[in-house]
A and B are shown apart, each in its own frame.
Chain A
Amino acid sequence: MSEKVLMKGNEAVAEAAIRAGCRLYFAYPITPQSELIEYMARMMPKVKGTFVQAESEIAAINMVYGASGCGKRVMTSSSSPGIALKQEGISYMAGANLPGVIVNVQRGGPGLGDIQPAQGDYFQATRGGGNGDYYTPVLAPSTVQEFADMASLAFDLADKYRNPVLILADGLLGQMMEPVEFQPYKTEEELKVLDNQHLDWCCCPNEDEPNHHHHEINSLEIDPVVLEQHVLKLGRKYEEITRNEQRWEDYDVNADNEILVVAFGTASRICKSAVDDLNAAGHNIGLVRPITLWPYPYDAVAKAVGPKVKKVIVFELNLGQMVQDVKLAVNGKVPVEFMGKVGGILFTPEEVLTKIRENL
């Protein structure tokens, strides 16, 4: 492990991606993720990597598709309106079983919205987002360190399951500076292993017969019987990911909790400080922070609802999206309350504290 450096989230995730072996990056500028594309523009040439500023987010994600179809670690990033444009490519990648990492540094919406932090893309991120029946793992960081760590996790998951993986951050995490400790760069040997891991299916150098290959990177199956089997197989992959990859953080969760708070990402940071204050004052509040938003840690949330919990309160920077998953998890056992902030405005710890206190 190296020394800690003070860095913006946008730059930290870019650096971490390079260290994780990403040598291809395609994107289009948008606030509040521009430090990410600018970092890649500076650093990729230094590691003999590829940086291309694409003509649009649509082009960028399709460049990602092409590079991924060649078996390489590849990434793109954007913010909400640009991520909306990438949905075409993400759906095609999911259909074609292509790995790849997409970072969404969310801002306020709908439409052009504003450039302040928000969590309004939760539905889009966790329900596929593009056309058709598919899911992408969604990783939601709450610190700059975690944002950086998620780069290598995202690539590992993408390669393991041959599926696009989303990192769902927001403008606050992208812009704020915190100390980060990075994993070491992959060695030449490790990079070679990564480079060769997909040769059995990707576009790669060929040979004459009998070793000639004809690999098809494709999401089209015109015969419904074949498409049925293809989608069912995708479904089994999503089940496997759901079994294996749920991640969450229990914070002060115990059998005597009076209230359980559920929040992710930036919202969870604010909630934690309110929970700290209340617990210091003698209350017993627990907090669950889902880290994977898909697969959603339903069981973990359900389990965290201890025997004395009167209410579950969900805090989000949107009109109430994850709260639907929390309700599924809690399944009517106790009432589920919601507090949201929209427009790129954050709640203050005092507002969170007041909301919890009202329910004590």
Chain B
Amino acid sequence: MQIIATRPKTLTDLNFTYCPGCLHGVAHRLIAEAIDELGMRNQMMGVAPVGCSVFAYKFFNIDMQEAAHGRAPALATGMKRARPDMHVFTYQGDGDLAAIGTAEIVHAANRGEHITVFFVNNAIYGMTGGQMAPTTLPNMKTTTSPYGRDVDDIGYPIRVCELLDSLVAPYFIERVSLLSPAEIMKAKKTVLKALQYNKEERGFTFVEFVSTCPTNWGLDALESRNWARENMLPFFNVKNYRDKGKEA
């Protein structure tokens, strides 16, 4: 028998607790594969958020810390400063990173902390049952925007890559999507690049995944990807915003 595909060593044996068709698991796998491939596993630590991916600290088979809601970049700052010879990543949802944790992400990026932030944007609060997120699209219905997001009342969704791109310090900022196998393969390259830069201590690296929440969107796996393609991608452009490695 020949093994052609196996679980990355950076993932534990636990089964993911995500809903069918959810892309959190895909994002986990890309990150774990990249850590393995770059030989970073024994120097890597991670921070899990509060959100559907709260159990990321169980799923990644490395030393992990579980943060309070939104505080992952502050934890990562403390971790990196405490163990400068090791590497740190955070994994955060859109409510976690772009609402309650806005100060922490902006300032960690602004300090140019040598960490990698993986940001999973599904335009909704998944874990708490589908409330409006800072990334919820205009007119999109959620349990707390039952008549659709009224931008005159509550403002427009926040584009985090664009926001961080206004800062001088960040080294690498890119938005990718996970909506098809081809896009996932491309996203993998971006994850590898961000973590390679992390390994080389280049500075702050940020990868946003345009993702889905089939459960709270009320759609199945395929429909949710189509919905994201039609509605999210026009607003959240998939592109590289910053690559100081390329500029150099």
> Quick one: which of A4-50 are within 8 Å of B by CB?
24, 26, 50
The answer to whether the Cβ of A273 comes within 8 Å of any Cβ in the partner chain is no
Contact A218/B57 with A59-B104, A66-B47 known, Cβ cut-off 8 Å: yes
Q: Which residues of A contact B61 (CB under 8 A)?
A: 212, 214
The answer to whether the Cβ of B75 comes within 8 Å of any Cβ in the partner chain is yes
Report the separation of the CA atoms of residues A56 and B75 in the bound assembly, to the nearest whole angstrom: 13
- Segment touching B, from A101-109, A200-208, A275-283: A200-208
The answer to whether the Cβ of B200 comes within 8 Å of any Cβ in the partner chain is no
Asked whether, in the complex, the Cβ of B74 is within 8 Å of the Cβ of A63, the reply is yes
Pick the most buried of B44, B65, B103, B104: most chain A CB atoms within 10 A of its CB: B65
Contact A205/B66 with A64-B78, A214-B61 known, Cβ cut-off 8 Å: no
Interface size on B (CB < 8 Å)?
35
Asked whether, in the complex, the Cβ of B66 is within 8 Å of the Cβ of A72, the reply is no
> Quick one: which of B191-237 are within 8 Å of A by CB?
none
Asked whether, in the complex, the Cβ of B82 is within 8 Å of the Cβ of A24, the reply is yes
> Quick one: which of B103-124 are within 8 Å of A by CB?
103-104, 106-107, 111
> Quick one: which of B95-140 are within 8 Å of A by CB?
103-104, 106-107, 111
> Quick one: which of A83-118 are within 8 Å of B by CB?
88-89, 92, 96
The answer to whether the Cβ of B79 comes within 8 Å of any Cβ in the partner chain is yes
Report the separation of the CA atoms of residues A203 and B75 in the bound assembly, to the nearest whole angstrom: 12
B199 to chain A, nearest CB (A): 14
Report the separation of the CA atoms of residues A231 and B238 in the bound assembly, to the nearest whole angstrom: 45
Other-chain contact of B63, A24, A54, A215, A219 (Cβ < 8 Å): A215
Q: Which residues of B contact A255 (CB under 8 A)?
A: none
Other-chain contact of A203, B42, B54, B79 (Cβ < 8 Å): B79
> Quick one: which of B12-45 are within 8 Å of A by CB?
12, 41-45
Asked whether, in the complex, the Cβ of B81 is within 8 Å of the Cβ of A52, the reply is yes
The answer to whether the Cβ of B77 comes within 8 Å of any Cβ in the partner chain is yes
The 4 closest A-B pairs by CB, nearest first: A66-B78, A66-B75, A62-B74, A63-B78
